[in-house]
Amino acid sequence: MKIAIVGLGLIGASIARGLKGTAEITGIDCDATTIDKACRENVISQGSTRIPERLDCDMAVLAVPVGSITSIAEMVVPHMQEGAVLTDTGSTKAGIVRHIEAICPCFVGGHPIAGKENPGYDASQATLFQGAVSIITPTSGSKKDCIEKVEWLWKSLGSSITVMDPDRHDELMAIISHLPHLLSFVSMSIAKDIHIHRELLGAGFRDFTRIAASDPIMWRDIFTANKDRVLKLIDDYTHELTKMKDIIKGDRVAELEDMLRTYSSIRRNLYDNKG
Amino acid sequence: MKIAIVGLGLIGASIARGLKGTAEITGIDCDATTIDKACRENVISQGSTRIPERLDCDMAVLAVPVGSITSIAEMVVPHMQEGAVLTDTGSTKAGIVRHIEAICPCFVGGHPIAGKENPGYDASQATLFQGAVSIITPTSGSKKDCIEKVEWLWKSLGSSITVMDPDRHDELMAIISHLPHLLSFVSMSIAKDIHIHRELLGAGFRDFTRIAASDPIMWRDIFTANKDRVLKLIDDYTHELTKMKDIIKGDRVAELEDMLRTYSSIRRNLYDNKG
C-alpha cells in the first residue's frame, strides 16, 4: 500500500510513524525542515513541500487544520490517480464531507479521537492511535471499497472504528469536545492573576483547565466550522448557568443540592464512577 | 499531644491515619459504625458519637462539612479545656473564622488543599496531605502559640503551610476551585444523553468533567458560604462567554484566534507548559 500524507504535524506524522513497515509513505508538508527531518528519521520514504504533478499513492490522507482541509483537497484531487482513496482527520465533518464529496468520488471522512495539547511533528508518536476510537463518516454516496480502505488505515494503527453520519458526528462532538474546550479556554479569563499563588492550584484546577492549553489555530477552525452547533450549546449552557446562579442568589439550598446531585450522578454514571 | 477530631470522613479520618504514632486521637462522629470501624482499625484510640462532657485534648479539629462547622463549633467549645486550640478544615474561611473567633479565643482556621472525589471514611488515607499545601488563616487576634500548634498539625501530616487572610483565601479559592467546580457541574446539563457513545469520550472530556463527580453536599455548602464571590465570578465568566459567542457568531476569525491564543498562554504559563 502506498500512502501520501499531507501535513506532518502531530496527527500526520503519528500516522506515518504508526504505519512504518506496513505502507510506503510519501510526506507532503509546507515546512522543508519538517520534510528533511521526517526523511532523516525514516518516518517517510520520500517527501516534498509541494504536491507532485502525479501523486503516486493508493490513498491520500489530509492531516491539516480543519480550516485548510477543503482548500488543500481542491489542490490534491487533480493530482490523484483514478481510484485512489482520499480521507482526512478533521475534528469536524459535515461541511468538509459535503465539500470534498462533490469534487472526489473516492472520499470518506475520518476523525481519530486522539491527540495531545502539544501540536507539531516533534510531538508525534507511533502509538498515538492505539486503543483509540476512530470515527469514519461515509455517506450514501460512498463506495464500499473506499470505506474498507479507510477502515484498514485506522485498524492498522490500532484503533477501533465507529461509523457515523457526518451531521451526527458534529452534533456529538460539539457536546463531547467542542463546548468543553471552549468553556475551559474561557475559564482562563478569570485566572489571569493567580500565577502568584501557583502552589495552591490543586488537581481539580489542573484537570479542568488542561484543555485550555490547546492549539489556538486548531480550535479557531473547529469553533468556526461547527459554529451553529457550538453557538446553540453556548446558549443552553448559559441558560443552565443562569439557573444555577439564581438558585445560589436566592439561597434555595435544597434545590441547589438536588441540582448538584443530578450533575454528579450523570458524571458518575458515565464512567461507572471510575473516571 | 492529644487531638480530638470531629468528623471521621475523608479529611478527618485521613488526619487521624496520618498522625498515627505522633498523637493520641479521639474520634467523634455521629455515625456509630464509623466510630467502631475506626477503633477496630486503630485509626483512633477512643471514639464517641457525642461530644464528651470534658473533651480531654490539646487541640480539636473540626473536619465536618462547611455548612456545619460553626454550629458544631458552638457545641464543642464549651467542652474544651482552657488553652486547647481549635481549628477546622473547611474550604471557605471568612464567615467561619469571624463566627468562631467570637466564641473561642484559641481558634485558627485551616484548609488543606487536598481531597478526592470520593468522600467518606473508607476513602481516607494516611498520605492524603503529603506534599500538599495547607492554608492557615490566622487574624490579628490569633495567639502565637495557637498558630504554631496548627502549623505543627499540618507539617506533621507532610504539608507545607501558606498563611493567608481569611477574605483573601475565599477570593482566591473562588477563582481556583469554586468556579471551576461550578462550571464543571453545570457542563453535565448538556451531557445527559451521551452515555450511548461512551466509547468516544476522550481525555479532554474526562479531565474537564472529573470534578463534576464531586460531593453535592460539600459543594452546596461551599457555594452558599462563598456566595457573593461565586456570584460575582459567574457574572464575569458569563460576560467573557458572551464575548466569545459574539466573536464566533460574527465570524471575527482573527479576534477569535487572538482570544484563544491569550487563554492558551495563560494556562501554559501557569504550569510552564507541563500541566
Domain match, B111 and B173 both: no
B33 located within any domain: yes
Domain match, B145 and B252 both: no
Total residue count of chain A as it appears in this document: 275
Domain match, A133 and A225 both: no
B99 located within any domain: yes
Above 60 in pLDDT, residue B21? Answer: yes
Nearest in space to A71 (alpha carbons), one of A88, A59, A58, A54: A88
Residues spanned by the domain of A80:
2-164
- For residue B21, give the CATH number of its domain: 3.40.50.720
CB contact under 8 A, B234 and A244: yes
B146-163 pLDDT tens trace: 999 999 999 999 999 999
Domain match, B191 and B99 both: no
Domain match, B12 and B133 both: yes
ipTM of the complex: 0.90
Domain match, B118 and B8 both: yes
- Look at A84-88, A193-197, B17-21, B258-262 and tell me which has the smallest mean pLDDT: A193-197
**Closest A-chain CA to B254:** A220
For chain A, the three-class secondary structure string (H helix, E strand, C coil) is CEEEEECCCHHHHHHHHHCCCCCEEEEECCCHHHHHHHHHCCCCCEEECCCCCCECCCEEEECCCHHHHHHHHHHHHHHECCCCEEEECCCCCHHHHHHHHCCCCCEEEEEECCCCCCCCHHHCCCCCCCCCEEEEECCCCCCHHHHHHHHHHHHHCCCEEEECCHHHHHHHHHHHHHHHHHHHHHHHHHCCCHHHHHHHCCHHHHHHHHHHHCCHHHHHHHHHHCHHHHHHHHHHHHHHHHHHHHHHHCCCHHHHHHHHHHHHHHHHHHCCCCC
Residue range B18-40: mean pLDDT, rounded: 97
B191-233 pLDDT tens trace: 877 877 888 888 889 999 999 999 999 999 999 999 999 999 9
B60-88 pLDDT tens trace: 999 999 999 999 999 999 999 999 999 99
B117: confidence class by pLDDT, cuts 50, 70, 90: low
- pLDDT score for B275: 53
Which residue among A145, A164, A183 closes a domain? A164
User: How are strands ordered across the β-sheet holding B46-48?
Assistant: B46-48, B24-28, B2-6, B59-62, B85-88, B107-112, B133-137, B160-163
Instruction: Share the mean pLDDT of chain B.
Output: 95
Domain match, B87 and B223 both: no
- For residue A181, give the CATH number of its domain: 1.10.3660.10
Interface with B, mutate which of A122, A162, A197 (most B CBs under 10 A): A197
Chain B residues 172-231 with CB within 8 Å of chain A: 172, 175-177, 179-192, 194-195, 197-202, 204-217, 219-220, 223-224, 227, 230-231
B246 located within any domain: yes
A177 located within any domain: yes
Domain match, B193 and B62 both: no
- In B107-246, the DSSP E strands lie at 107-112, 133-137, 160-163
- The set of residues, in sequence order, having a beta carbon less than 8 Å from that of B152 and lying 6+ positions away, is none
User: How are strands ordered across the β-sheet holding A133-137?
Assistant: A46-48, A24-28, A2-6, A59-62, A85-88, A107-112, A133-137, A160-163
Sequence-separated contacts (24+) of A72-75 with Cβ below 8 Å: A72/A6, A72/A7, A73/A99, A73/A100, A73/A103, A73/A104, A73/A107, A74/A103, A75/A51
Q: Please spell the DSSP secondary structure of B243-264, one letter per residue.
A: HHHHHHHTT-HHHHHHHHHHHH
Which residue among B164, B189, B218 closes a domain? B164
Percent of chain B topping pLDDT 70: 99
Above 60 in pLDDT, residue B261? Answer: yes
B201 located within any domain: yes
Note down pLDDT in tens along chain A; length 275 residues. Answer: 999 999 999 999 999 999 999 999 999 999 999 999 999 999 999 999 999 999 999 999 999 999 999 999 999 999 999 999 999 999 999 999 999 999 999 999 999 998 776 789 999 999 999 999 999 999 999 999 999 999 999 999 999 999 999 999 999 999 999 999 999 999 999 987 787 788 888 888 999 999 999 999 999 999 999 999 999 999 999 999 999 999 999 999 999 999 999 999 999 999 876 55
Domain total for chain B?
A: 2
B275 located within any domain: no
User: Which of B202, B212, B269 has the CB atom closest to A177's CB atom?
Assistant: B202
- pLDDT score for A274: 56
- pLDDT score for A193: 79
Number of A–B residue contacts, CB under 8 Å: 270
Domain match, B131 and B44 both: yes
CB contact under 8 A, A177 and B113: no
CB contact under 8 A, B267 and A212: yes
Domain match, A220 and A237 both: yes
Q: By CB neighbour count within 10 A (0-12 exposed, 13-18 middle, 19+ buried), where does B118 fall? A: middle
**Closest A-chain CA to B187:** A237
- pLDDT score for A275: 53
Domain match, B57 and B154 both: yes
A213 located within any domain: yes
Domain match, A22 and A154 both: yes
Which residue among B135, B164, B193 closes a domain? B164
What residues of chain A lie within 8 A of the CB of B231, using their CB? 245, 248-249
A129 located within any domain: yes
Interface with B, mutate which of A111, A136, A188, A258 (most B CBs under 10 A): A188
